[in-house]
């Protein structure tokens, strides 16, 4: 993974602090508090470039409902939904062009977080970008549109706080409520890969860097 070496160097001085702030939330699931903070100044400009090429949009679910979150993607594959179903596409349906390339800082962060959680050799080929404004939410769901479930899910929170719901393997299972702050990552995989998860409605607020919004980057291996 030589291509990530420069970005990994940025984490070196922070490793002890991050290890102290890591919390195991499942057999193979970890909350990494503040893990992305050392490279936020790289992540945000890169995000702006991606969204300039593939703007956020409110996609329609197979049931005909408009999602409350604005979505976009980068990487080889982008997650999309419409009346035909949930799936991955190599092409942005708005532009008819391939999704923007995944920024090196994104890929490096996802790899490092997965490694910290015990998943070595994680190389994401898809990054789903979700924008939450106050009131937006994500219902309980499983990430199961990928080709297989060998790779973990790596999820980064930026901006306004969120209350993350982390459940079991049935929608009716009890969920744990986990507050997520700017720079936090959650990584789950292995025996936990198909746990239900979601986000409660975002509360009104003002983040000093991102204003009235929460940005979630979800890294996956789609194919």
How far apart are the C-alpha atoms of 48 and 131, rounded to whole Å? 13
pTM over 0.85: yes
The band of 213, judged by pLDDT with boundaries at 50, 70 and 90, is very high
- Domains of the chain, start order: 21-220 (2.60.120.590)
What are the φ and ψ backbone dihedral angles of 169, each rounded to 5 degrees?
-105, 5
Query: pLDDT tens-digit profile of 56-87?
Result: 999 999 999 999 999 999 999 999 999 999 99
> What pLDDT is attached to residue 10?
42
Q: Average pLDDT over the chain, rounded to whole?
A: 92
Phi/psi for 30 (5° steps) reads: -140, 140
The whole-number pLDDT of residue 19 equals: 47
Mean pLDDT along residues 170-183:
98
Cα dihedral sign for 133, 134, 135, 138? positive
Distances (CA, A) of 203 to 128, 135, 152, 179: 22, 6, 28, 12
What is the predicted pLDDT for the residue at 89?
A: 98
User: What pLDDT sits at residue 16?
Assistant: 37
- Residue 219 scores a pLDDT above 50: yes
Q: What is the pLDDT of residue 220?
A: 98
Please state, for a pLDDT cut of 70, what percent of the chain lies above it: 91
pLDDT confidence of residue 20: 43
How confident is the model at residue 22, as a pLDDT?
Answer: 95
Using CA atoms, how far apart are residues 187 and 147, in angstroms rounded to an integer? 19
Distances, alpha carbon 134 to alpha carbons 28, 66, 84, 159, 163, in Å: 31, 16, 29, 11, 12
Of residues 158, 131, 17, 111, the one with CA closest to residue 70: 131
**Neighbouring C-beta atoms of residue 108, cutoff 10 Å:** 22
- What was the pLDDT predicted at 147? 96
44 pLDDT above the threshold of 50: yes
Percent with pLDDT over 90 in the chain: 91
């Amino acid at each position: 993974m030589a291509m990530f070496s420069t970005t990994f160097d940025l984490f070196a001085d922070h490793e002890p602090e991050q290890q102290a702030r890591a919390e195991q939330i499942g057999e193979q699931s970890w909350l990494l508090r503040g893990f992305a903070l050392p490279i936020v100044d790289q992540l945000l400009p890169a995000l702006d470039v991606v969204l300039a090429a593939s703007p956020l949009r409110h996609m329609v679910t197979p049931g005909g409902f408009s999602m409350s979150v604005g979505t976009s993607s980068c990487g080889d594959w982008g997650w999309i939904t419409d009346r035909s179903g949930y799936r991955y596409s190599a092409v942005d349906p708005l532009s008819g062009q391939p999704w923007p390339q995944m920024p090196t800082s994104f890929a490096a962060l996802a790899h490092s977080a997965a490694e910290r959680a015990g998943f070595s050799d994680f190389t994401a080929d898809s990054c789903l970008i979700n924008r939450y404004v106050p009131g937006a939410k994500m219902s309980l769901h499983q990430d199961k549109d990928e080709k297989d479930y060998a790779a973990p899910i790596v999820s980064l929170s930026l901006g306004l706080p969120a209350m993350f719901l982390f459940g079991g393997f049935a929608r009716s299972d009890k969920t744990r409520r986990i507050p997520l702050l700017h720079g936090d990552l959650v990584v789950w995989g292995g025996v936990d890969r198909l746990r239900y998860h979601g986000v409660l409605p975002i509360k009104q607020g003002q983040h000093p860097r991102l204003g009235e919004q929460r940005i979630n980057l979800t890294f996956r291996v789609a194919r």
